[in-house]
């Protein structure tokens, strides 16, 4: 089988994008993981498919697969790349439109200069919506390994846990992040962010993504971090979120409002892989 693809990234969060507008993706989870292998495949954090929309309010749909072949429900950096791919293909013009994500419709706006602005939806804090098998609290406390972990949690269409730290450079991403990501209190797993607050208008963040591991950027994680920390009164409505791969501009006006995220989407190369 020949797989034609485009490699893209959003501030280092990298994707393989496959055009499935005329036929569905014909890869098993094992084959997707093969493409995602950075030594013997193309390598990606997520594979994104561009598909016909079943929601009449949306122009196209997209699917999301992690590098281990598992499905994902939302990807903030990914939707910007999908919009930019469709724009380059002549299927989207500059301005606002809607795309259908696995977790529902997403409003996107292609801006002059190449940035894409995305409505990431209203944060959901109820444990059943995350989902999280604990009574509602902020912060939550669980025992992971030999440590008691204190964190906030929210759904941005996918589950997120957030831990405040003094220095993200030394955050235990590969240990605590990986362990909390698969903790049994999260029945679907979760993305785990480690956040440092330099001031009310800036945030430093690193994220361990379920099914993908440590990534250079996580758009939904940036939105989740702002929602949790602004709800605690620690951040302004609009902040610059600095991730290892670059900076996103994120805004949340408060309870009941959607989170808006702005950032770049960049093409790397196109290719064909034999599977």
3-class DSSP string for 138-201: CCEEEEECCEEEEEEEEECCCEEEEEECCCHHHCCHHHHHHHHHCCCCCCCCCEEEEEEEEECC
Q: Do 215 and 156 fall into the same domain?
A: yes
pTM over 0.85, yes/no: yes
Give the model's pLDDT for residue 92.
93
Q: Higher pLDDT residue, 248 or 113?
A: 248
Q: List active site positions.
A: 75, 218
pLDDT single digits (tens) 156-190 = 999 999 999 999 999 999 999 999 999 999 999 99
Domain count, the chain: 2
Residue pLDDT, tens place only, 45-70: 999 999 999 999 999 999 999 999 99
My answer on whether 84 and 12 are in the same domain is yes
**Token pair for residue 198?**
């330099």
Q: What is the CATH number of the domain that holds 144?
A: 3.10.310.10
Q: In this model, does residue 81 exceed pLDDT 90?
A: yes
pLDDT at 246 over 90: yes
pLDDT at position 203 over 90:
yes
In the chain, count H helices and then E strands.
4, 18
80 with 53, same domain: the answer is: yes
Q: Judge if 164 and 61 occupy the same domain.
A: no
| pLDDT band, residue 119 (cuts 50/70/90) | very high
User: Is residue 147 scored above 90 in pLDDT?
Assistant: no
Which range of residues forms the domain containing residue 170?
Answer: 127-257
Do 169 and 67 lie in one domain? The reply is no
Determine the pLDDT at residue 1. Answer: 86
Looking at residue 114, its pLDDT comes to 85
CA 25 to chain centroid: 21
Same domain? For 178 and 86 the reply is: no
Which secondary-structure segment (H or E) carries 19? Answer: strand 13-19
> What pLDDT digit, counting tens, does each position of 82-108 carry?
999 999 999 999 899 999 999 999 999
Angle (CA) 232 236 238, round 5°: 125
């Amino acid at each position: 089988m020949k797989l034609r693809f485009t490699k893209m990234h959003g501030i280092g969060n990298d994707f393989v994008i496959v055009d499935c507008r005329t036929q569905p993706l014909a890869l098993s989870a094992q084959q997707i993981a093969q493409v995602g292998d950075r030594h013997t495949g193309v390598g990606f954090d997520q594979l994104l498919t561009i598909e016909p929309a079943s929601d009449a309010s949306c122009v196209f749909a997209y699917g999301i697969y992690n590098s281990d072949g598992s499905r994902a429900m939302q990807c903030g950096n990914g939707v910007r790349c999908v919009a930019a791919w469709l724009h380059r293909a002549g299927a989207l013009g500059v301005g606002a439109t809607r795309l259908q994500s696995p977790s529902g419709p997403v409003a996107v706006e292609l801006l002059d200069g190449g940035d894409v602005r995305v409505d990431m939806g209203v944060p959901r804090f109820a444990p059943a919506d995350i989902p999280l098998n604990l009574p509602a609290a902020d912060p939550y406390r669980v025992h992971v390994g030999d440590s008691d972990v204190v964190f906030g949690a929210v759904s941005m269409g996918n589950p997120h846990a957030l831990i405040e730290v003094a220095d993200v450079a030394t955050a235990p991403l590969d240990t605590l992040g990986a362990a909390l990501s698969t903790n049994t209190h999260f029945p679907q797993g979760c993305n785990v962010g480690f956040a440092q607050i330099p001031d009310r208008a800036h945030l430093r963040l690193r994220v361990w993504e379920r099914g993908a591991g440590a990534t250079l950027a996580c758009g939904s994680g940036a939105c989740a971090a702002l929602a949790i920390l602004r709800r605690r009164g620690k951040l302004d409505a609009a902040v610059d979120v600095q991730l290892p791969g670059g900076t996103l501009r994120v805004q949340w006006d408060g309870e009941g409002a959607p989170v808006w995220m702005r950032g770049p989407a960049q093409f790397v190369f196109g290719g064909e892989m034999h599977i």
